[in-house]
Amino acid sequence: MLEEASEVLESVLKASCLPLSVLLFVPAVLLLLGPPPAAEAAHEFTVYRMQQYELGGQPYGTRSAVLNTEARTVEADVLSRRCVMMRLVDFSYEQYQKALRQSAGAVVIILPRSISSVPQDVVRVNRKVFFPFPTGDAKFVSHLNPQQFMEIEPEMLAMETIVPVYFAVEDEELLSIYEQTRAASASQGSASAAEVLLHTATANGFQMVTSGAQSKAINDWLIPSVEGRLTGLGGEDLPTVVIVAHYDSFGVAPWLSHGADSNGSGISVLLELARLFSRLYTYRRTHAGYNLLFFASGGGKFNYQGTKRWLEDNLDHTDSSLLQDNVAFVLCLDTLGRGNSLHLHVSKPPKEGTLQHAFLRELEMVVASQFPEVKFSMVHKKINLAEDMLAWEHERFAIRRLPAFTISHLESHRDSLRNSIMDRRARIDTKALTRNTQIIAEALTRVIYNLTEKGAPADMQIFTDQMQIQQEQLESVMDWLSSQPRAAQLIDKDSTFLNTLEYYMGRYLKDVKQHHVKADKRDPEFVFYDQLKQVMNAYRVKPAIFDLLLAVCIAAYLGVAYVAVQHFGLLYKMIQRLSLKTKQQ
Classify domain 43-116+143-217+533-542 by CATH architecture.
3-Layer(bba) Sandwich (3.50)
Write out the residue limits of the CATH 3.40.630.10 domain(s) in the chain: 222-518
Beta 526-529 vs 240-246: how paired, if at all? Answer: unpaired
Query: Are the CB atoms for 382 and 396 separated by under 8 Å?
Result: no
**Predicted pLDDT at 198:** 59
**Whole-prediction pTM value?**
0.83
Q: Is 109 exposed, middle or buried (0-12, 13-18, 19+ CB in 10 A)?
A: buried
**Predicted pLDDT at 126:** 36
Chain center to CA of 458: 44
Beta strands (DSSP E) in 519-564 are 526-529, 533-541
Query: Which has the closest alpha carbon to 556: 548, 575, 570?
Result: 548
Whole-angstrom Cα distance, residue 190 to residue 186?
Answer: 7
**Predicted pLDDT at 366:** 97
Q: Is 44 exposed, middle or buried (0-12, 13-18, 19+ CB in 10 A)?
A: exposed
Query: Which has the closest alpha carbon to 206: 228, 224, 180?
Result: 180
Kind and range of the H or E element at 343?
A: strand 341-346
**Predicted pLDDT at 137:** 38
Whole-angstrom Cα distance, residue 295 to residue 229?
Answer: 9
Q: Is 165 exposed, middle or buried (0-12, 13-18, 19+ CB in 10 A)?
A: buried
10-residue averages of pLDDT along the chain (585 residues): 50 46 42 44 90 93 93 89 91 88 94 67 39 36 56 87 95 93 71 57 80 91 96 88 98 96 97 97 94 97 96 84 90 97 97 95 96 96 91 96 97 92 93 97 96 89 90 96 96 94 96 94 92 94 72 85 80 78 68
Whole-angstrom Cα distance, residue 174 to residue 73?
Answer: 13
**Predicted pLDDT at 234:** 85
**Predicted pLDDT at 12:** 45
Query: Which has the closest alpha carbon to 270: 300, 299, 243, 301?
Result: 243
Whole-angstrom Cα distance, residue 160 to residue 61?
Answer: 5
Query: Is CATH 3.40.630.10 what the domain over 222-518 is classified as, yes or no?
Result: yes
**Predicted pLDDT at 356:** 96
**Predicted pLDDT at 551:** 81
**Predicted pLDDT at 548:** 76
**Predicted pLDDT at 243:** 98
Write out the residue limits of the CATH 3.50.30 domain(s) in the chain: 43-116+143-217+533-542
Residues forming beta bridges with residue 379, ordered by sequence position: 345
The one-letter amino acid code at 582 reads T
Strand order in the sheet with 341-346: 375-380, 341-346, 404-408, 327-333, 240-246, 291-297, 222-230, 510-518
